[in-house]
Structure 1
Amino acid sequence: MSSIVIYFSRSGENYFGGELKNIEKGNTEVIAEYIQELDGADLFKVEPAVEYPADYMECIDVAQKEQQADARPEIRETLESIAEYDTVYIGFPNWWGTLPMPMFTQLEQLDFAGKSVKPFVTHEGSGFGSSQKDLAKLCEGADIKNGLSIPGANVYDAKETVKSWIED
């Protein structure tokens, strides 16, 4: 049984408990790497062809405009197939209540029929928002399992939580 983590993560200026901080590694990437370590999963990072602005406020402004336009931003590299995987972990930060739009670009191109999908989200209090409804559409034919929701400020203390969730 093989697995893959398809994720989007953003480093740089991010929001934590009411203040902006610069982080070297995005919160979602920290969790993706825990999953790789604990489950042996392959990693695939979805990266926009055009980087988001480094400034957090500008970034979320761009992200909101993309969402309002139902945009499908071009991505640097496309994962062509998940045929060889049984389990697909899908990770993302909650941006405006759902997945960042580059995740839509990637996920819409994959065939999820018969796959087990385990979503995880990093956030600052908003949890999954409406992303689970969007995931149900994006991952048509998949068995979507219980998701894992982790506040960004807690990612470095979440390894045991991630382990329990993987084993669940």
Structure 2
Amino acid sequence: MEVFIIKILVAYYSHSGNTRQIAEIIQKAVGGTLFEIEPKAAYPVAYNTVVEQAKKEIKARMRPALKLLPDVSEYDAVIIGTPNWWSTAAPPVMTFLEGRDLSSKQVTFFCTHGGGGQGHIFKDMSAACPDSKMLKGIEFYGDGGRSAQAMVSDWLRQINLLN
């Protein structure tokens, strides 16, 4: 029986830390490479200030410059995480997606939210990588709480990224 090793990149943007926590759980489960998507100019820490900046960027469809972009060519699958910012992905995540050739890759998404669900995040992110093999995404309220580990494991099994 032939065994195939799938190389997985887990890329995420996190402002509050919730998306980072889920990304770390996913990375530990799949053994992939963890990559933090970081804008060159960090977002403000103060909640109201970041809210105003992000709203303006989303409305203007801005794509902030990133500090670093990984070479995705060596990966078979890419898992991308974002917080829900006004029903869509955080602008740095869209910069990441639009700047990478993810065709021929298995791609899936996860999002964290404070009650807004997935909004149109997965639709927006899928549109940014139309030639990829899209796998079912998942959403987490906050950091996923006590059930985060089980939710991640179940989801990864469903999409065949975890045995």
For normalisation by structure 2, the TM-score amounts to 0.89
The equivalent of 1:31 in structure 2 is 22
Distance (Å, rounded) in 1 between the aligned partners of 2:102 and 2:137: 17
Please give the secondary structure, in 1, of the residue aligned with 2:19. helix
1:148 aligns with 2:138: yes
Q: Are residue 100 (structure 1) and residue 105 (structure 2) matched?
A: no
Is the 8 Å Cα contact of residues 31 and 155 (structure 1) preserved in structure 2? no
Per-residue deviation, 1:149: 0.6
Task: Identify which of 137, 151, 156 aligns with 1:161.
Answer: 151
Q: Tell me, which stretches of 5 or more residues in structure 2 are unaligned?
A: 1-5, 159-163
CA–CA distance in structure 1, aligned partners of residues 157 and 85 of structure 2: 27
Matches within 5 A, 1:60-139: 60-79=51-70, 81-139=71-129
Structure 1, unpaired ranges of 5+: 12-25
* Backbone CA RMSD of aligned residues: 1.2
SS of the residue corresponding to residue 66 of structure 1 reads helix
> Amino acid of the residue matched to residue 158 of structure 1?
A
Rounded Cα–Cα distance in structure 2 between residues aligned with 1:31 and 1:153: 6
Deviations 1:85-109 (A, max 9, x none): 1111010000011111111111111
Work out the CA distance in 2 between the residues paired with 1:140 and 1:164.
26
Q: Is the 8 A contact 1:28 1:91 kept in 2?
A: yes
Report the equivalent of 2:15: 10
- Give every structure 1 segment of 4 or more consecutive aligned residues whose post-TM-superposition deviation is greater than 6 Å: none
TM-score, normalised on structure 1?
0.86
How many residues are paired up?
Answer: 153
Query: Partner residue of 1:23?
Result: none
Q: Is the 2:22–2:144 Cα contact (8 Å) retained in structure 1?
A: no
Which residue is equivalent to 2:3?
A: none
The CA deviation string for residues 34-67 of structure 1, in whole angstroms up to 9 with x for no partner, is 1111100101111111111111111111000001
Using the TM superposition, give the Cα deviation of residue 156 of structure 1 relative to its aligned residue in structure 2, in angstroms.
5.0
SS at match of 1:158: helix
Deviations 1:124-145 (CA, angstroms, capped at 9, x unpaired) = 1212111122112211211111
Q: 1:90 is paired with a residue of what secondary structure?
A: strand
Among 56, 70, 73, the alignment partner of 2:47 is 56
Q: Which amino acid aligns with 2:69?
A: T
- SS of equivalent to 1:83: helix
Map of 2:161 onto structure 1: none
